[in-house]
């Protein structure tokens, strides 16, 4: 795989098209040192960004929650996103808009820093090994928990929130798992390291945690709509880890993960059932407008 700083083409950077290798920031920028950074992850399917407007709106919401005013309109960012995927000729890939504070101040206070915006895009296939998308991925249970909602801006896609996700995923991979299930501050099921989680019970109903301390994913909401259109009952509620043995199916949703079945969480085994396969097929049909 080509390192991300060695790729070619253009990146949209503060309303300019910059050569990929020249899209740089100073080492003393506030975003790096104090996590003053928000971002989005968007999928390109057949040269079209799925749910672009929703992603851009969330980017602006995240920035506002972090006290950052983006110096462009949402339409500007939508246009720039479409422009850069066209310039890069990305047909099926990923888009990463990023907003961060600059280098004018280097301390906790950052009132006078400039707000920077960049948008990069590249061809990208499956987040997980395609074989695992069929067989189901394996999760451990992380020792790290999603923080209480009064301790962080939990409803944003801010870079600092992913520190414990990286730690959790690294530990899971070292133990032979693909990803990690994270619990919330109360000890209930929350999400995986970068995706929301769903369970199917023996009656065919689907259960998913209430997103009250973690991100309510755009893909999560899309899959809920698909399931409800099929007459599947969705139960959004608190889920205790002690309930895991009672579920027969499990899957993740996310822009990167799409719809990915889970074969086990620690010692709890799940089947890649027809319901999950059907939801994935319907999701793929939607994003590719088949």
Residues with active-site annotation = 157
Query: What is the C-alpha to C-alpha distance for residues 186 and 200, in angstroms, rounded to an integer?
Result: 22
* SS3 at position 100: strand
Terminal CA-CA length for the chain: 30
Q: How would you classify the pairing of strands 179-183 and 137-145?
A: parallel
Q: How far is CA 98 from CA 52, 60, 95, 116, in A?
A: 14, 11, 10, 8
Contact between residue 142 and residue 162 where contact means Cβ atoms under 8 Å apart: no
Q: How far is CA 177 from CA 27, 109, 140, 144, 200, in A?
A: 34, 40, 6, 16, 21
Tokens of 128: 């997980």
Query: What is the C-alpha to C-alpha distance for residues 258 and 280, in angstroms, rounded to an integer?
Result: 8
* SS3 at position 223: helix
Query: What is the C-alpha to C-alpha distance for residues 208 and 199, in angstroms, rounded to an integer?
Result: 6
Give the residue from 182, 224, 183 showing the smallest Cα distance to 205.
Answer: 224
- For residues 240-256, one letter each, b for 16 or more C-beta atoms within 10 angstroms of the residue's C-beta and e for the rest, the string is eeeebeebebbbbbbbb
Query: What is the C-alpha to C-alpha distance for residues 83 and 81, in angstroms, rounded to an integer?
Result: 5
């Amino acid at each position: 795989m080509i390192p991300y700083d060695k790729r070619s083409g253009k990146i949209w950077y503060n309303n300019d098209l910059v050569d990929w290798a020249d899209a740089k920031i100073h080492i003393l920028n506030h975003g790096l040192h104090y996590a003053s950074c928000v971002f989005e992850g968007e999928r390109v399917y057949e040269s079209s960004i799925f749910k672009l407007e929703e992603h851009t709106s969330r980017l602006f919401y995240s920035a506002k929650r972090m006290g950052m005013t983006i110096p462009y309109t949402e339409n500007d960012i939508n246009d720039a996103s479409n422009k850069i995927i066209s310039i890069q000729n990305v047909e099926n890939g990923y888009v990463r808009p990023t907003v961060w504070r600059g280098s004018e101040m280097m301390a906790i206070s950052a009132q006078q820093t400039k707000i920077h915006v960049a948008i990069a895009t590249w061809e990208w296939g499956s987040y997980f090994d395609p074989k695992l998308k069929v067989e189901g991925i394996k999760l451990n249970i992380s020792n790290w928990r999603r923080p209480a909602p009064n301790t962080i801006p939990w409803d944003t896609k801010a870079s600092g929130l992913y520190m414990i996700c990286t730690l959790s995923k690294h530990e899971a991979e070292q133990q032979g798992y693909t990803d990690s299930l994270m619990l919330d501050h109360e000890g209930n099921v929350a999400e995986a390291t970068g995706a929301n989680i769903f369970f199917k019970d023996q009656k065919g109903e689907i259960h998913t945690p209430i997103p009250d301390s973690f991100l309510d994913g755009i893909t999560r909401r899309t899959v809920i709509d698909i399931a409800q259109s099929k007459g599947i009952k969705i139960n959004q509620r608190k889920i205790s880890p002690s309930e895991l043995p009672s579920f027969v199916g499990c899957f993740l949703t996310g822009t990167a993960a799409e719809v990915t079945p889970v074969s086990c969480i620690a010692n709890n085994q799940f089947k890649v059932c027809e319901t999950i396969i059907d939801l994935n097929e319907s999701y793929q049909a939607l994003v590719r407008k088949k």
